[in-house]
């Protein structure tokens, strides 16, 4: 299968946008390599690295043992010696196996060596619900990563952002965790290679003046659908897609809330000490005097993820309940 070379795609899947980003970066920079479980011959658990072995060979697309500490540790060593590894961990749920390598090594090496050594690596992984994977294969653990200084954290919601943010992640000297929602791989949208995305800058997808709805990853698409329903009731929702959680674009959040004076924060992570908690705190600290109603954070439940499809669906935010919460806030 030949990887397409054009600059604009009217429609491309999230999965293919990721593959194209890796292909373009590997073509432009011979130091970029890929390693992980089943990334070469099989093409990755969700097919994002399919055909890259044929394009770049087994010295640059490398199958590894099923060992997260080995994958991340090897990537760190490779990055320290001048390569730019993309380490794929099949599930974010398995980050606990390699948290010493991620949090104590990759995030701190540049600081501990006074900037003399960098770790330019990307850890690609996927998380979230939607495939009845159960409690150990469906989690949203981005708050673990967001807590650690020295790491970038990217969570795109569409193919265009996925392409540009992955390429940007490979061009920085900061180790980056790139989390892809498992239900976004087949999500389709346009891609314009020449219309670059500003790394660390949130995107206002829908301007409004009634309420600010702040989201990221799959929840962004839920927020957009909710905004359409709210518009039918003459409620103008401003939708903010954060795109990156570290760096976090606080200014876009604050300026939006100061304008609408109402805020709803969405996350598929947990309610307690999650990403939504941090964003809610930022809003209260900076917008308290202008808020007409308290901020609401709408998240997954503080329980393990259920495996039954009907329970799993209601475990995380839904479009209809986003609409209900928004109406509750502004009335």
Q: How do strand 237-241 and strand 203-206 relate by DSSP bridges?
A: antiparallel
Residue 93 — φ and ψ, nearest 5°? -60, -25
Q: How do strand 188-192 and strand 152-154 relate by DSSP bridges?
A: unpaired
Structure tokens of 163? 């392409």
Contact (Cβ atoms closer than 8 angstroms) between residue 164 and residue 190: no
Residue 102 per-residue DSSP state? I
How many other CB atoms are there within 10 angstroms of residue 214's CB atom?
Answer: 30
- Respond yes or no: is residue 68 known to be catalytic: yes
Report the DSSP beta bridge partners of residue 120: none
* φ/ψ bin of 38: left (φ > 0), alpha (ψ from -120 to 50), beta (otherwise): left
Structure tokens of 193? 């290679």
Residues 92-106, buried b or exposed e (16+ Cβ, 10 A)? bbbbebbbebbbebb
Residue matched to tokens 């990217």: 154
CA–CA dist 307, 10 (Å, integer): 36
Contact (Cβ atoms closer than 8 angstroms) between residue 62 and residue 9: no
Of the residues 37, 68, 88, 312, only one is catalytic, namely 68
C-alpha distances out from residue 105 to 32, 71, 72, 122, 149, Å:
20, 13, 10, 14, 12
Residue 152 — φ and ψ, nearest 5°? -90, 150
- Respond yes or no: is residue 233 known to be catalytic: no
Of the residues 25, 37, 88, 137, only one is catalytic, namely 137
Give the dihedral sign, CA 291/219/325/303. Answer: negative
Catalytically active residues, by annotation:
68, 137
């Amino acid at each position: 299968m030949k990887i397409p070379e054009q600059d604009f795609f009217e429609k491309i899947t999230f999965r293919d946008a990721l593959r194209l980003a890796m292909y373009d970066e590997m073509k432009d920079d011979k130091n970029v390599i890929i390693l992980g479980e089943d990334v070469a011959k099989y093409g990755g658990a969700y097919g994002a690295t399919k055909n890259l072995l044929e394009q770049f060979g087994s010295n640059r697309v490398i199958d590894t043992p099923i060992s997260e500490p080995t994958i991340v540790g090897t990537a760190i060593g490779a990055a320290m010696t001048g390569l730019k590894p993309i380490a794929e961990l099949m599930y974010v749920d398995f980050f606990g196996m390699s948290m010493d390598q991620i949090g104590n090594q990759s995030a701190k090496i540049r600081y501990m060596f006074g900037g003399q050594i960098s770790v330019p690596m990307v850890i690609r992984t996927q998380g979230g619900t939607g495939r009845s994977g159960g409690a150990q294969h469906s989690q949203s653990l981005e708050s673990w990563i967001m807590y650690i200084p020295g790491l970038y954290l990217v969570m795109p919601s569409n193919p265009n952002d996925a392409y540009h943010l992955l390429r940007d992640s490979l061009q920085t000297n900061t180790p980056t965790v790139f989390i892809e929602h498992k239900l976004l791989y087949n999500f389709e949208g346009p891609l314009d290679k020449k219309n670059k995305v500003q790394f660390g800058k949130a995107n206002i997808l829908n301007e409004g003046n009634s309420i600010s709805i702040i989201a990221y990853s799959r929840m962004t698409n839920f927020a957009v659908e909710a905004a359409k329903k709210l518009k039918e009731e003459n409620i103008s929702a401003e939708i903010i897609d954060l795109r990156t959680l570290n760096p976090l674009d606080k200014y876009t959040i604050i300026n939006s809330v100061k304008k609408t004076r109402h805020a709803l924060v969405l996350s598929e992570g947990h309610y307690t000490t999650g990403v939504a908690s941090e964003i809610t705190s930022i809003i209260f600290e900076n917008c308290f005097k202008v808020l007409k109603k308290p901020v609401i954070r709408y998240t997954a439940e503080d329980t393990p993820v259920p495996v039954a499809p009907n329970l799993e669906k209601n475990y995380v935010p839904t479009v209809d309940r986003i609409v209900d919460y928004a109406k509750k806030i502004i009335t």
